[in-house]
């Protein structure tokens, strides 16, 4: 039965299926009597005879009617090209003029390769109109009479094709299919194999008001005037919205750019300006024309250009590369840190990779309206303002570190992603996983005292483990085709899991082998593209084939999830078993049976590391080759700590007696384990409890050692889990006792960190984190001190140290009233420090008054007050506030269409809004509300995030149901 047949049956049987609808019930009363059709025998025979005669007549007509000039559904039309055609397909693509679009594949044909683009573009920042023309020089690898390329929301006004001798080819058709964002160009003469041709297009478009393609942004100058700029964001598939192109990463080409602009503007491109001249009277009075140097070979998504009135500061690397930071004039004083960091990290990466940066310049530009943190356009990196601008008087230590990390991440991309690019988006992690790992090396080279590698497990490993434990996760290398599928994989798995498995690889191969392999990989594939298998093959070569790196790492990249290692003592032997770890609400494991099949059977090659109490300085390694393993231990060993420094991407389950031993060690002398291992035990215990594998008493008993803990990494790990418990338990029996427990744990560490802004970088970050947590849980001494600081600041303008601002602002707003909130709101609207604005947005959402929170949510809809890109911050902080959780959800429901119209296809943002608002919900009614509201709704590339959010709510509901009573009992006993 074809799909069309299924639809016909559904249509014919639909009357039955719909008979229970209100309309169906009404029709029953008209046509039925006691549910049985009622008519006479003779009348029934008469009706049957007439129907049969009609059917016979129709059949004869169909049989003897000649062929028609139409494309029937399910029939392959003439001149229709589809490499994957089958007769069950019913959706034949239609061009905008109603004709059949002859190419039916979201991917472009392989017989044509572009090698040079010449682009001329003139954006009008007043009318938002864009006029442009482009020539694309192509090389034909196979005879053809058609070409397919990408275009989105462009009006093509003129087109032409020439051969290499300048002769015009006759274009017989130019069709556009908006569903695949493609143009189909057909010629009478054939494009001949191994020949070059030139495509010419003249086009018009509008500057986008979303954060993608070629779009409009604005800022307010020092004198209060609104200034406009035009900028680009093309990753992953938005270059086609700026100019017609072959918009796939493997189709690299050189780019020449010409930009027409007003005299009071400047133009920036990936390459330096070659020449500027008068544009001439025919395109507008007073315009200037900037011609830029030709680029190296690069993918379309890395092209970038900006028309603005920015100021800039510059420096030069050791090898003579010009580095500049461009910002709106009010912010130029905050650009020095970014410039100095970038110059140093550029030098470091050139030495580390052994490959010079291949462009003559590297520009950084702060963009006021920007959907992500930053974008690695080659030679012209764009940033959200808060990710680039640093004020030493106003910006906190944590924000300072974040700016450095983002800069290093984008600079790592200049090699991993730009110089060597993934062949297709299924290997996005080759860009993002590598940059997310290398960013830590880059920052560590400049600020070794920051101990960035100690923080790696907090920022990458632990969040990735949390995400990858969901049934709705995905493999690192995942098949994608449609643009919405591509956008959906820009997530924690591609970034942080990718970085984590590289961290694990570096630990068992050692850093010199890792560095040599990176060097060889970049040299082998520079200015080209690669796949994951190419990378692993280089690693195997650098281990002298002693390790089949590809076989090992394929089990980590080609299947979703990660292993749970269960350790059991059996006399002198220790048994270690592996199985997939999954957070599931289904005790029968039906969820696991429904998961995608894995050719590896959800088994991994695991470098299991451990040490024991008898020799804690020696790290042992046991290879689990997609199997379980056994090893001998001295019978005097009392405890084992596995996954040393949490460097492996797996979790560990100890038997009950071993958990007791480890908890005992932590309570008696926790320093026998290093901070990363203490954090790892906290992370595993709380997560295994979430999965239903450990009773809640185990993580609670373990966490009680924190009374003596003084290190940042364990405390940061614990705080993350405590916050999650607090949100889930807020309507539960144990919540009040939990708050008492938190105050008891936080009292000694809050006293320890104190209010003197001194100590190391990590000391300062920990102090801010601990005091902010103490304010959240109502620790009296901290709240009193913070409220006093707030009053002195509000009433007497007494300055606050940047690292105490979050603590003081939060205390003033949470425990204050409308006057305190309004004062902070006024500061938000008047400051020109991006990091201060961001901090205020977070603090404003911790208010205890629902009326204030409701007003704040409404403010977030006003683009003249709060930038669209900051809407997520507002929703997230209100949703995590017990007083605002339901307000945030109702707000999302009420204004979903408004938000969708604001962000359009920029579903990075739409997905993050869903996640921010829903993942704290934890009651059966919450689950019903969310699933009912989104049921049947097309949320585009946010579909995976929606699925993960619903799965998370289910887990929350199940966890509270199963653990609330146990938590209450343990806390009651402990506190008494």
In the sheet that holds 129-140, the strands lie side by side as 168-169, 155-163, 196-206, 129-140, 112-123, 254-261, 288-292, 273-278
3-class SS of residue 481: coil
Which helix (H) or strand (E) segment holds residue 16: the answer is helix 3-17
The whole-angstrom separation of Cα 247 and Cα 741 is: 56
Output the 3-class SS for 520-549: HHHHHHCCEEECHHHHHHHHHHHCCCCCCH
Quick check: 428 and 490 in contact, CB under 8 A? Answer: yes
Q: Which of 328, 347, 327 is nearest to 338 (CA)?
A: 327
Residue 826: other Cβ atoms inside 10 A = 11
Which among 410, 485, 789, 929 is annotated as catalytic? 410
Q: Does the annotation flag 409 for ligand binding? A: yes
Planar angle of CA 635, 639, 640, nearest 5 degrees = 100
**How many CA within 13 A on the CB side of residue 875?**
29
Residue 70: other Cβ atoms inside 10 A = 8
The whole-angstrom separation of Cα 581 and Cα 562 is: 6
| Contact residues for 157 (Cβ-Cβ < 8 A; gap 6+) | 202, 203, 204
Torsion angle in degrees (nearest 10) through CA of 15, 19, 21, 23: 80
Torsion angle in degrees (nearest 10) through CA of 463, 466, 468, 469: 170
For residue 335, what are the CA distances in angstroms to 325, 347, 392?
6, 19, 11
Residue 883 bears catalytic tag: no
Q: Which of 132, 136, 143, 134 is nearest to 115 (CA)?
A: 136
Helix residue spans in 72-172 (DSSP H): none
In the 8-state DSSP scheme, what is residue 208? B
Q: Does the annotation flag 413 for ligand binding? A: yes
Quick check: 639 and 662 in contact, CB under 8 A? Answer: yes
The whole-angstrom separation of Cα 240 and Cα 152 is: 6
Helix residue spans in 777-817 (DSSP H): 780-796, 805-814
| Contact residues for 284 (Cβ-Cβ < 8 A; gap 6+) | 122, 260
Residue 286: other Cβ atoms inside 10 A = 10
Q: Does the annotation flag 920 for ligand binding? A: no
| Contact residues for 736 (Cβ-Cβ < 8 A; gap 6+) | none
Cis peptide before 236 (omega within 30 of 0): yes
The whole-angstrom separation of Cα 838 and Cα 818 is: 20
Residues classed as catalytic: 410
Binding-site residue ranges for Zn(2+):
409, 413, 432
Binding-site residue ranges:
409, 413, 432
């Amino acid at each position: 039965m074809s799909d069309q047949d299924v639809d016909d049956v559904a249509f014919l049987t639909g009357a039955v299926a719909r008979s229970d609808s209100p309309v169906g019930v009404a029709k029953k009363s008209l046509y039925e009597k006691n549910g049985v059709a009622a008519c006479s025998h003779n009348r029934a025979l008469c009706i049957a005879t007439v129907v049969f005669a009609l059917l016979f007549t129709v059949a004869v007509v169909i049989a003897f009617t000649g062929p028609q000039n139409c494309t029937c559904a399910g029939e392959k039309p003439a001149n229709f090209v589809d490499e994957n055609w089958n007769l069950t397909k019913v959706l034949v693509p239609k061009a905008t003029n109603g004709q059949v679009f002859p190419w039916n594949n979201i991917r472009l044909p392989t017989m044509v390769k572009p090698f040079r683009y010449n682009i001329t573009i003139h954006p009008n920042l007043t009318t938002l109109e864009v006029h442009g023309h482009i020539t694309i020089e192509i090389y034909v690898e196979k005879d053809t009479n058609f070409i397919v390329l990408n275009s989105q929301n462009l009006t093509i006004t003129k087109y032409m094709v020439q051969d290499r001798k300048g002769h015009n080819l006759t274009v017989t058709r130019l069709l556009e299919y908006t569903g695949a964002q493609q143009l189909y160009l057909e010629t009478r003469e054939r494009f001949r194999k191994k020949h070059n041709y030139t495509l010419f297009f003249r086009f018009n478009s509008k500057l986008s008001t979303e954060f993608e393609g070629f779009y409009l942004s604005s800022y307010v100058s020092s004198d209060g005037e609104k200034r406009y700029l035009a900028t680009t964001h093309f990753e992953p598939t938005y270059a086609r919205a700026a100019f017609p192109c072959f918009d796939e990463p493997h189709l690299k080409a050189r780019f020449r750019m010409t930009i027409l602009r007003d005299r009071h503007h400047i133009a920036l491109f990936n390459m330096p300006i070659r020449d500027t001249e008068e544009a001439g009277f025919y395109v507008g009075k007073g315009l200037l024309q900037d011609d830029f140097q030709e680029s190296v070979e690069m993918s379309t998504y890395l092209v970038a250009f900006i028309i603005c009135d920015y100021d800039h500061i510059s420096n030069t690397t050791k090898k003579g590369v010009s580095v500049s930071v461009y910002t709106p004039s009010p912010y130029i004083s905050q650009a020095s840190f970014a410039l100095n960091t970038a110059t140093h990290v550029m030098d470091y990466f050139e030495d580390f990779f052994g490959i010079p940066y291949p462009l003559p310049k590297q520009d950084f530009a702060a963009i006021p309206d920007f959907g992500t943190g930053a974008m690695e356009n080659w030679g012209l990196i764009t940033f959200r303002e808060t990710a680039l601008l640093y004020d030493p008087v106003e910006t906190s230590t944590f924000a300072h570190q974040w700016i450095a990390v983002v800069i290093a991440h984008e600079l790592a991309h200049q090699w991993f992603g730009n110089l060597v690019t993934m062949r297709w988006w299924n290997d996005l992690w080759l860009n993002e996983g590598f940059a997310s790992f290398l960013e830590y090396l880059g920052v560590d080279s400049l600020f070794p005292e920051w101990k960035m590698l100690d923080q790696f497990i907090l920022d990458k490993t632990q969040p990735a483990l949390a995400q990858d434990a969901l049934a709705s996760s995905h493999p690192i290398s995942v098949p994608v085709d449609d643009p919405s599928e591509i956008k959906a994989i820009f997530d924690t798995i591609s970034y942080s899991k990718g970085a984590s498995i590289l961290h694990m690889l570096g630990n068992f191969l050692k850093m010199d082998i890792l560095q040599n392999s990176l060097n060889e990989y970049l040299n082998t594939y520079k200015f080209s593209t690669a796949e994951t298998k190419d990378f692993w093959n280089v690693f195997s070569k650098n281990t002298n084939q002693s390790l089949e790196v590809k076989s090992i790492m394929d089990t980590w990249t080609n299947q979703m999830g990660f292993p749970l290692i269960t350790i059991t003592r059996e006399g002198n032997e220790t048994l270690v078993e592996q199985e997939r770890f999954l957070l599931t609400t289904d005790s029968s494991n039906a969820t696991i049976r429904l998961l995608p099949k894995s050719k590896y059977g959800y088994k991994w090659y695991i470098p299991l590391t451990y040490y024991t109490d008898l020799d804690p300085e020696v790290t042992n390694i046991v290879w689990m080759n997609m199997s379980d393993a056994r090893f001998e231990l001295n019978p005097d060993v009392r405890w084992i700590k596995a996954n040393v420094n949490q460097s492996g991407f797996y979790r560990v389950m100890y038997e009950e007696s071993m958990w007791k031993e480890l908890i005992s060690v932590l309570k008696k002398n926790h320093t026998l384990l290093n901070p990363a291992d203490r954090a790892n035990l906290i992370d595993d215990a709380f997560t295994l409890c979430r999965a239903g594998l450990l009773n809640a008493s185990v993580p609670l008993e373990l966490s009680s050692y924190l009374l003596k803990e003084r290190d940042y990494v364990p405390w940061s790990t614990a705080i993350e889990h405590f916050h999650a418990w607090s949100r889930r338990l807020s309507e539960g029996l144990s919540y009040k006792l939990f708050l008492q427990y938190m105050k008891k744990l936080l009292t000694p560490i809050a006293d320890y960190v104190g209010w003197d802004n001194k100590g190391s970088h990590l000391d300062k970050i920990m102090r801010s984190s601990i005091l902010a947590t103490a304010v959240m849980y109502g620790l009296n001494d901290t709240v009193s001190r913070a409220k006093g600081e707030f009053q002195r600041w509000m009433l007497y303008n007494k300055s606050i140290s940047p690292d105490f601002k979050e603590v003081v602002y939060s205390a003033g707003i949470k425990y204050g009233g409308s006057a305190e909130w309004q004062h902070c709101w006024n500061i938000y609207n008047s400051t020109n420090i991006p990091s201060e604005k961001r901090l205020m947005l977070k603090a404003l959402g911790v208010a205890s008054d629902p009326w204030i929170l409701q007003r704040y949510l409404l403010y977030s809809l006003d683009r003249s007050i709060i930038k669209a890109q900051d809407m997520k911050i507002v929703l997230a902080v209100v949703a995590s506030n017990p007083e605002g959780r339901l307000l945030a959800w109702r707000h999302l429901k009420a204004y979903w269409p408004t938000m969708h119209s604001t962000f359009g296809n920029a579903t990075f943002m739409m997905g993050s809004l869903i996640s921010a608002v829903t993942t704290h919900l934890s009651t059966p009614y919450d689950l019903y509300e969310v699933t009912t509201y989104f049921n049947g709704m097309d949320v585009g590339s946010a579909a995976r995030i929606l699925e993960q959010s619903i799965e998370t709510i289910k887990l929350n509901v199940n966890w509270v149901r199963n653990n609330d009573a146990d938590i209450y009992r343990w806390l009651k006993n402990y506190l008494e």
